[in-house]
């Protein structure tokens, strides 16, 4: 499929095959994204891969990946999807720590390759963390690019020209991120950060919002309304939080809430800055989204599960 055909497919009502690729223990937005994907009638979530990360919540990249895996398993079980949607351990080491052009193997990498080859239609990978699993799968078997489209919630906006390309997801594995941008796979970039009013950073909620959209006294309702925010803001009131990662399933659920276009992909210079060279390949790029619509869709889908 060409990028224009993929764009038309994303805008269609066809149910899409999806793999989620999540650093679920890094923050609390992945848990909502997983439930959104499973609860949406527009997606058939085949599996969820754990992605590595390294911050104050873990002792290193491999520990972060394993904690993400455990969190994915917990969420899938909590929403009753553990039998239909399998979780996979991801790469324990970023490509940035490997010899040049050396992929990292993992169950997640093999899951991507196997799923794409066995599918009779395009597979959409919604990647909401570092690009390690996806880049390793493509490096291991470049033929999967023909039947694959990656939606990456990451990088900074193109707007402003020549600014820094990377944010947290890119910084976790710069080699994998640069490879994903350069390798020519069908790619949808949903930039995480940018000038005010741009990027998935515009997806924001607070406790009052969750109280209004997550109704009921079930354990599932309490988890999404109270327990997850408590992880990020223990004992705090008046918090607000970014829900970056729900943009990925949000796009597949209803692309009309996103301003999308096919445009030339800049390269990422060695110093991490966008460079707008000529004769680069195209990507699908999100310039804006409708945050109220995406957040409403997220919690309408989650409500179907709880």
- 279 class by beta-carbon count within 10 Å (0-12 exposed, 13-18 middle, 19+ buried): exposed
Torsion-angle region of 271 (φ positive above 0: left; ψ -120 to 50: alpha; else: beta)? alpha
Number of H helices, E strands in the chain: 12, 12
Per-residue pLDDT of the chain (306 residues; tens, 9 = 90+): 999 999 999 999 999 999 999 999 999 999 999 999 999 999 999 999 999 999 999 999 999 999 999 999 999 999 999 999 999 999 999 999 999 999 999 999 999 999 999 999 999 999 999 999 999 999 999 999 999 999 999 999 998 667 899 999 999 999 999 999 999 999 999 999 888 889 999 999 999 999 999 999 999 999 999 999 999 999 999 999 999 999 999 999 999 999 999 999 999 999 999 999 888 999 999 999 999 999 999 999 999 898
Contact 267, 175 (CB under 8 A): no
Greatest CA separation for the chain: 56
Q: Is the dihedral of CA 266, 54, 76, 292 positive or negative?
A: negative
213: domain CATH number is: 3.90.245.10
What 8-state DSSP symbol labels residue 117?
H
Q: Phi first, then psi: give them for residue 262, nearest 5 degrees.
A: -90, 125
Cα separation of 109 and 139, whole Å? 10
Counting the structural domains of the chain, the total is 1
Residue 129's domain comprises 3-305
Contact 242, 235 (CB under 8 A): no
């Amino acid at each position: 499929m060409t990028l224009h055909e993929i764009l038309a497919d994303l805008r269609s009502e066809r149910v899409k095959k999806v793999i989620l690729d999540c650093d679920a223990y890094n923050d609390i937005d992945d848990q909502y994204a997983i439930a959104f994907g499973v609860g949406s009638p527009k997606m058939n979530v085949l599996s969820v891969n754990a992605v590595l990360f390294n911050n104050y919540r873990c002792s290193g990249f491999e520990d972060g990946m394993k904690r993400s895996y455990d969190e994915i398993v917990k969420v899938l079980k909590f929403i009753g999807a553990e039998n239909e949607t399998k979780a996979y351990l991801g790469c324990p080491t970023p490509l940035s720590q490997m010899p040049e052009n050396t992929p990292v193997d993992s169950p997640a990498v093999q899951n991507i390759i196997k799923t794409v080859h066995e599918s009779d239609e395009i597979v959409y990978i919604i990647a909401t963390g570092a690009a390690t699993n996806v880049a390793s799968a493509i490096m291991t078997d470049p033929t999967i690019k023909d039947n694959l489209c990656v939606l990456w919630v990451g990088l900074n906006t193109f707007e402003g020209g020549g600014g820094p390309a990377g944010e947290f997801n890119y910084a976790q594995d710069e080699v994998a991120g640069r490879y994903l941008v350069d390798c020519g796979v069908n790619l949808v970039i949903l930039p995480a950060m940018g000038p005010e009013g741009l990027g998935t950073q515009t997806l924001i909620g607070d406790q009052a919002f969750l109280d209004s959209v997550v109704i009921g006294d079930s354990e599932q309702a309490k988890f999404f309304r109270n327990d997850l925010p408590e992880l990020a803001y223990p004992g705090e009131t008046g918090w607000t939080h970014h829900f970056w990662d729900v943009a990925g399933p949000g796009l597949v659920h209803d692309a009309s809430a996103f301003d999308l276009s096919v445009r030339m992909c800049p390269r990422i210079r060695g110093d991490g800055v966008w460079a707008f060279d000529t004769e680069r390949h195209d990507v699908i790029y999100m310039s804006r989204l409708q945050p109220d619509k995406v957040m409403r869709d997220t919690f309408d889908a989650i409500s179907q599960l709880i």
